[in-house]
Chain A
Amino acid sequence: MSSRPAAPHNVVWLDAPSFPEAARKALADTGLRRNLGRATATIRDKRLAVTGELADWEQLRQAGAALKRRTLRHLDGYLVQLEEAVTRAGGTVHWAADAAEANRIVAGLVRATGSTEVVKVKSMATQEIGLNEALAAEGIDAFETDLAELIVQLGDDRPSHILVPAIHRNRAEIREIFVREMGRRGRPAPEGLSDDPRALAEAARLHLREKFLRARVAVSGANFAVAATGTVGVVESEGNGRMCLTLPQTLITVMGIEKVLPDFADLEVFLQLLPRSSTGERMNPYTSMWTGVTGGDGPQEFHLVLLDNGRTATLRDTVGRQALACIRCSACLNVCPVYERTGGHAYGSVYPGPIGAVLTPQLVGVEHAASLPFASTLCGACYEACPVRIDIPQVLAHLRAEVVEAKRRGSAVPSAEALAMRTAGAVLGSPGRLALAQRAAALGGRLLGRGGTVGALPGPLRRWSGARDTPAPPAESFRSWWKRTREGGPEKEDGHDCP
């Protein structure tokens, strides 16, 4: 039995083009590139300033990576421990093998309360499983309450960043969305709304306030859950999280199984790593932690849904496993030269950027996201920035090999890539064939080269050469030069003119 979900749901968007195709469109959008360039530069500087304050930042990263490694290698034990602790504290734990099962569980729990609407805290896990769409199909309205998620939801749009999902929208677009859409979902935007971020935040406050005050059910994700105590935590900025976690009678939390941590004291590492890596703050405005239910304070019914949905398949790969250590800080997106230019939508997944390029193909299977492991220059900036030291370039290279292998298995006709590699092997393996090929290349280079580079090539090489400038092959190969000058060739010259 495969442990990957039968339908990938929102991990990959089914109508999304492959990365190269989407990237080409995104690159042509100069406004988007300017917004992204400015935004990622701002957040990069903030992150460097606050991580630079801690002399032991590297030791914290080492500890974070080691804690995640310990947890993942003993994940079954920690999850059972977490289940016991949550149950003891008055909560109920549910297990979901895939997205469909998680959605079914949540919809059933909401229906049981008699409510037809839920307020939601920003959550990657519920994005991943397409919970809002699944609830809508059951006649349940899900209201996103994080400002950026609200912008995305009202704009009938998709998130483009893990931390700031509406990073691709500017203030004028956001104002327009609020004016047009808020009235259809509740309290309309105030008359004469300006595009000042302060005014837009105020409009969101007013629009959501009535929803918070009447909400009976909330759905959240979790940044962590402590196995030993059953304590669950949500890290946020706006206070929408506190509203959802405090006011409703029923709280349903959907959490990926990899989010469990051994002990409460281990939070001392992650509460230092996460805010500084994520928003570039010493601490985010609000972190809420709760253990089961507390009489007279907050929700009196608590459900924790533990989600697999491809995580155990990722765990099986001893190289790729480390991607499960991700704490969703998005530092790798902000430092990535590819993300900075293409934006998040090009990745066609709720998990964009470098971490998405390693996580998405593993969650859904490389055959469903074959272009993503190639959406990187392997420059290594993501590994440097990662607070839990996920070696993203290593996993990318590993997954590239898997993609080529999967293509070979899936097709009787070898791909251009596999063919090229096979031909290269044959040519490089025989001095005679290599000499012939080099003479042919010198001739071809003279025909195709313009100003020292070869542009777009015809045929199967078109896609590769379309985005790259290839140096034109030299008129003479090193081998033939060596032969001519060192082995007494016909036109021997002095050796000062080294190639």
Chain B
Amino acid sequence: MTARDIVLGRIRAALADVPDDESPADVPVPRDYLRSHAGPDVVALFAERVADYQARVVRTEASGAPAEIARMLTERGVTDLVVPPGFPEELLPAGPWNRLDDHGPLGVAELDAADGVLSTAAVAIAVTGTIVLDAGPGQGRRALTLLPDYHLCVVRADQIVGDVPEALALLDPVRPLTFVSGPSATSDIELDRVEGVHGPRTLDVLVVDRDQPQEVG
């Protein structure tokens, strides 16, 4: 007998009290919890909740995004910048940074030595202040947004949903998923919270709104 047969056999014996004709659907699961705890302004809530984690949040209209990105990179002292494949070129500002593309692909030592990474996100969650990466365009493979010590994540306002149930419904579980809520942190020493351990120690989030139509004068 294989271990598989043994374990499955034990489970079936242990569940002798479950009627043979019972199906999983016969065990009721009440779903009367809320789909979302967010109010109408999910973008403002997202910004507030991300900031609670000691991450910086900046909001801008699309036309102002490259300038904001340039300002944040400069402030954080970034020179070697990882730019994942598929990052929207129109958002990339001109500047003194040395752009590292992952065509190689980049080795772990190169990524570790980089000053920062500039990525997009797949979905964002307002109530929990979470950005979700799914390795899609502008995000790249997981190591790109992990090893550099600074992560600047660009989120389009229309990517922000209210709460966890809505976000999961939009995600494809086949893709590798990373939920990021603030910079890495630990409370392992006397439950004293310290931001920044192994993952990027600094997280900035740029929320990009669609440009408001200019009034015709």
Contact = CB atoms under 8 A, between A and B. Distances in A.
Interface of A: 1, 3, 35, 38-39, 42-43, 53-56, 59-60, 62-63, 66-67, 69-70, 73-80, 89, 94-97, 101, 145-148, 151, 164, 166-167, 170-171, 174, 197-198, 200-201, 204-205, 208-209, 212-213, 226, 229, 231, 237-240, 242-243, 245-247, 257, 262, 264-265, 267-269, 271-272, 279, 281-291, 294, 296-298, 306, 308, 312-313, 315-316, 318
Interface of B: 2-4, 6-8, 10-15, 17-18, 22-24, 27-34, 37, 49, 52-53, 105, 108-109, 112, 125, 127-130, 135, 141-143, 146, 164-165, 168-169, 173-192, 194, 196-200
B52 to A, nearest CB: 8
A29 to B, nearest CB: 16
* A-B complex: 6 closest residue pairs judged by Cβ atoms: A239-B199, A239-B198, A312-B10, A283-B128, A297-B141, A316-B14
Contact of B11 (A54, A174, A240, A315): A315
Given A73-B22, A297-B142, A312-B13, 14 more contacts: A56-B33, A76-B12, A96-B3, A97-B6, A145-B198, A164-B188, A237-B186, A245-B142, A271-B168, A285-B183, A286-B178, A288-B142, A306-B7, A312-B11
Given A268-B168, A297-B176, A80 B8 contact: yes
A238 B186 contact: yes
Contacts of A42: 191
Contacts, number: 248
A287 B178 contact: yes
Given A95-B4, A101-B3, A167 B178 contact: no
Contact of B17 (A39, A151, A231, A318): A318
Contacts of B30: 59, 62-63, 66
23 contacts: A3-B10, A38-B191, A63-B33, A74-B23, A75-B11, A76-B11, A204-B197, A213-B108, A238-B197, A238-B198, A239-B197, A239-B198, A245-B142, A257-B11, A282-B52, A282-B181, A285-B53, A286-B199, A288-B177, A289-B176, A289-B179, A298-B176, A316-B13
A324 B180 CA distance: 29
B178 to A, nearest CB: 6
A262 B191 CA distance: 34
Contacts of B185: 237-238, 285
Nearest to B109: A213
A407 B91 CA distance: 73
B143 A240 contact: no
A174 B186 CA distance: 14
Given A148-B188, A229-B173, A265 B179 contact: no
Nearest to A165: B188
A229 B175 CA distance: 11
A209 B112 contact: yes
A164 B193 CA distance: 12
A208 B3 CA distance: 36
Nearest to B178: A288
Contact of B184 (A55, A262, A264, A285): A285
A312 B191 contact: no
Contacts of A151: 188
A306 B200 CA distance: 32
Contact of B27 (A69, A79, A101): A69
A281 B142 contact: no
B174 A95 contact: no
Contacts of B37: 53-56
Nearest to B6: A97
A418 B18 CA distance: 34
Contacts of B196: 201
Nearest to A166: B188
Given A238-B184, A286-B184, A296-B141, A312 B14 contact: yes
A315 B191 CA distance: 35
B181 A197 contact: no
A240 B173 contact: no
A284 B181 contact: yes
Contacts of B8: 76, 79-80
Nearest to B25: A70
A197 B165 CA distance: 35
B39 to A, nearest CB: 13
B146 A59 contact: no
Contact of B198 (A60, A208, A296): A208
A291 B174 contact: yes
